[in-house]
Amino acid sequence: MIYIATALVVTFLATAAPRIPASLTTGSLHGMVTDPSGAVIPGASVTVMSANFVRHISTDESGQYTVSGLSAGHYRVQIHAAGFSTLDKSGLVLSPGYETEADAQLSISASKQEITVAAGLD
């Protein structure tokens, strides 16, 4: 009888012990990339980095990106798309179990043209 009671207590304690889901030990970073008019930019290059982490991804067809499973800490995001200036966001803080939003509106890149004219002197 004592063995059965002990087994029941052990079983109860094992099932009642608090469990921390894996999703609460890491965080995620997500955002939407748009142009100055608010239109989404699919295929933009997104680089997420911290002191010991770098991941390169692209925005999906709706201009969104998500990086999950990130350790808590400070992150930086660089976003670039053809015809737009590179955007650099730093100081993003991720906490376990939370999603940090890092939306970005890219500016149109100023085009630079260089023309060289050479005149022949004969």
Residue 110 banded pLDDT, cuts 50, 70, 90: confident
122 or 82, greater pLDDT:
82
Residue 114 lies in a domain: no
More confident residue, 71 or 18: 71
What pLDDT, on the 0 to 100 scale, is given for residue 53?
93
How many CA atoms does the CB half-sphere of 13 hold within 13 Å?
Answer: 6
Q: What is the pTM of this model?
A: 0.70
Tell me if 10 is assigned to some domain: no
Residue 55: its pLDDT value, please? Answer: 97
Query: Containing domain of residue 86, as a range?
Result: 22-105
> What pLDDT is recorded for position 117?
72
Residue 117 lies in a domain: no
Q: What is the 3 state secondary structure string of 73-99?
A: EEEEEEEECCCECCEEEEEEEECCCCE
d(CA 106, CA 37) in angstroms, rounded, equals: 10
6, part of any domain: no
The H-or-E segment that residue 6 falls in is helix 2-16
Give the model confidence (pLDDT) of 88-108 as tens digits.
Answer: 999 999 999 999 999 999 999
Q: Let me know if residue 76 belongs to a domain.
A: yes
pLDDT of residue 24: 75
CATH number reported for the structural domain that contains residue 36 in this entry:
2.60.40.10
Residue 3: its pLDDT value, please?
59
User: Is 44 a domain residue?
Assistant: yes
- Asked if residue 87 belongs to a domain, the reply is yes
